[in-house]
């Protein structure tokens, strides 16, 4: 059932509007079995084989009639993949060109097999026009090799010599691309396997970036540039060198603008996202906000990329203490009718952003937009690993209780903080900032919410926090609001008598 459900999702989202889904709808009032099964899976009525078999035949998933029906549906769904449409804002910008190339080449092979050399040649040339313009070396070679056979069998020596020369040229580029791909995918595996593997292979990967650069300078194809560009970016992010990330993205944009890198292949949306994120991590908030605003023009509001970009935008606003701008960004997101497309985790992050914003704005109430009870019911999502927003939730709830003078409830958050430190943060060097700030919260409680005592006892931890940089992109989430900024706010609550210290109570 899982395979069929995946196929149903793909064809529902991707098949061109003029293609009839399943192509078995002869009577809308009385659809065939395949259509009934498709419709029920699509609408979520059937989620397992047993559900489907019971609904279709009153039996279980082992029924032979159901198994044959599912097999027929699977075959039709697979056939529909040939009609998938990627001409929208969701996919890779160059994939429609690649898809069209494949279509022309497939038709050319059929025509060639039928002896229609002239028609096959026309289809190949259409493919070559696209593949050369888009720099698809592998597809260009396939097309040229078909032409080589056509010209040989139709006795056209001049055309044959010319196409053989082109084949040699693209084979040289292809060899460089294969060498580049071998290096790139090996390093991708080593860097993505685990934190230990990243650290072991970091130095050799830095050297590999130089090798990829030389291969690109030699072959000049887009594929060669892409491997060099992506690995160079990843190394900078792992090292936390976001100033250099900004430089890399600026260089890439200049190369595209000057025509040295193919604009049909370069995904400007990813470049905008990466550069905006780099401004955030480099703490260059003014430039980041300006660029984030400009970057919105390059990303469709209907795509998931837009929501990812807006996350960086709102974090830039929060970190720069521009709360009115953060409120404006969040409202743009909430009003976007395409928000249903994003994942549950992404929606929950937007809840947290708004929760922090409302906490920072004195005339707003966190509970107007965030239910901590609902969050804790979904807690497994956050507690499964350190990169979730569990720390952000613990901190926000503690601050909210402190702001409302609910010291009794604030005290109940301390055991949760201590357990989280012990379970997730103690053995992880990349989570030291979270650990230090939770320690500062513990100090507030230990000092009975006395601001002077907390400031004195917490000074050592605050200095360590200031001297502890945020980890690289691969290791942790961005702080929604910098911890140093949150500490100042907590101290302000106590100092300005938002809460009464124990020693001042009658």
Residue-wise pLDDT tens digits, 30-86? 678 888 888 888 888 998 999 999 998 999 988 899 999 989 888 888 877 776 665
Do 145 and 231 contact (CB within 8 A), yes or no?
A: no
Tell me the pLDDT tens digit for each residue of 190-248: 988 887 888 899 999 999 999 999 999 999 999 999 999 999 999 998 888 999 999 99
Closest by alpha carbon to 402, among 489, 506, 505? 489
Could you give the angle at the alpha carbon of 92 between the alpha carbons of 87 and 98, nearest 5°? 70
Residue by residue, pLDDT tens for the chain (506 residues) are: 776 676 666 656 655 554 555 554 444 666 788 888 888 888 889 989 999 999 989 999 888 999 999 898 888 888 777 766 656 555 567 888 998 999 999 889 988 988 889 999 999 999 999 999 999 999 999 999 999 999 999 999 999 999 999 999 999 999 999 999 999 999 999 988 887 888 899 999 999 999 999 999 999 999 999 999 999 999 998 888 999 999 999 999 999 999 999 999 999 989 999 999 999 999 999 999 999 999 998 888 888 889 999 999 999 999 999 999 999 999 999 899 988 888 888 888 888 898 888 888 777 776 666 666 666 555 444 444 444 467 788 788 888 777 777 777 767 666 555 665 556 555 555 677 888 888 888 888 888 888 889 999 999 999 999 888 776 554 456 789 999 999 988 888 776 544 444 444 43
d(CA 487, CA 436): 11
Torsion sign across C-alpha atoms 238, 244, 247, 248: negative
Segment (H or E) for 101: helix 95-113
Both tokens of 308, joined, read 């990812």
Alpha-carbon distance 465 to 351, whole Å?
A: 27
CA distance 411 to 448: 10
Q: Look up the pTM and report it.
A: 0.77
H or E element that contains 413: helix 407-420
């Amino acid at each position: 059932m899982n395979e069929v459900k995946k196929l149903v999702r793909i064809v529902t989202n991707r098949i061109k509007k003029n293609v009839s889904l399943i192509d078995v709808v002869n009577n809308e009032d009385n659809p065939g079995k395949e259509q009934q099964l498709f419709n029920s899976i699509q609408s979520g009525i059937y989620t397992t084989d047993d559900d489907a078999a019971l609904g279709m035949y009153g039996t279980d998933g082992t029924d032979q009639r159901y198994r044959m029906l599912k097999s027929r549906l699977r075959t039709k769904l697979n056939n529909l993949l040939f009609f998938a449409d990627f001409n929208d804002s969701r996919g890779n910008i160059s994939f429609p060109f690649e898809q069209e190339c494949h279509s022309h080449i497939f038709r050319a092979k059929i025509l060639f097999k039928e002896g229609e050399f002239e028609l096959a040649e026309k289809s190949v040339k259409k493919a070559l026009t696209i593949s050369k313009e888009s720099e698809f070396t592998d597809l260009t070679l396939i097309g040229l090799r078909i032409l080589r056979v056509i010209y040989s069998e139709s006795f056209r020596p001049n055309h044959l010599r010319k196409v053989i020369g082109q084949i040699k040229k693209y084979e040289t580029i292809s060899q460089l691309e294969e060498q580049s791909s071998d290096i790139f995918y090996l390093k991708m595996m080593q860097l993505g396997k685990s934190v230990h593997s990243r650290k072991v292979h970091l130095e050799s990967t830095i050297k590999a970036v130089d090798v990829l650069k030389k291969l690109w300078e030699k072959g000049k194809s887009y594929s060669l540039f892409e491997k060099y560009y992506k690995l160079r970016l990843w190394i900078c992010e792992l090292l936390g060198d976001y100033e250099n990330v900004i430089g890399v993205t600026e260089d890439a944009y200049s190369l595209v603008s000057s025509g040295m890198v193919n604009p049909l292949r370069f995904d400007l949306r990813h470049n905008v996202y990466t550069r905006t994120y780099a401004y955030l991590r480099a703490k260059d908030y003014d430039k980041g906000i300006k660029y984030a605003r400009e970057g919105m023009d390059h990303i469709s509001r209907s795509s998931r990329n837009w929501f990812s970009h807006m996350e960086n935008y709102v974090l830039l606003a929060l970190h720069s203490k521009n709360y009115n701008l953060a409120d404006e960004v969040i409202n743009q997101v909430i009003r976007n009718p395409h928000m249903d497309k994003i994942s549950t985790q992404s929606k929950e992050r937007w809840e947290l952003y708004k929760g922090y914003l409302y906490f920072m704005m004195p005339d707003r109430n966190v509970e107007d937009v965030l239910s901590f009870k609902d969050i804790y019911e979904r807690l497994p999502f956050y507690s499964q690993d350190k990169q979730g927003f569990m720390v952000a939730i613990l901190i926000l709830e503690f601050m909210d209780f402190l702001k409302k003078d609910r010291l009794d409830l604030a005290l109940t958050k301390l055991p949760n903080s201590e357990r989280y430190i012990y379970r997730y943060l103690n053995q992880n060097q990349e989570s030291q900032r979270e650990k230090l700030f939770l320690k500062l919260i513990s100090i507030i409680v230990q000092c009975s919410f006395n601001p002077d005592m907390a400031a004195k006892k917490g000074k050592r931890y605050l200095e360590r926090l200031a001297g502890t940089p945020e980890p690289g992109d691969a290791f942790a989430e961005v702080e929604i609001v910098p911890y140093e900024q949150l500490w100042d706010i907590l101290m302000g609550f106590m100092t300005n008598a938002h809460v009464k210290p124990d020693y001042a109570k009658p």
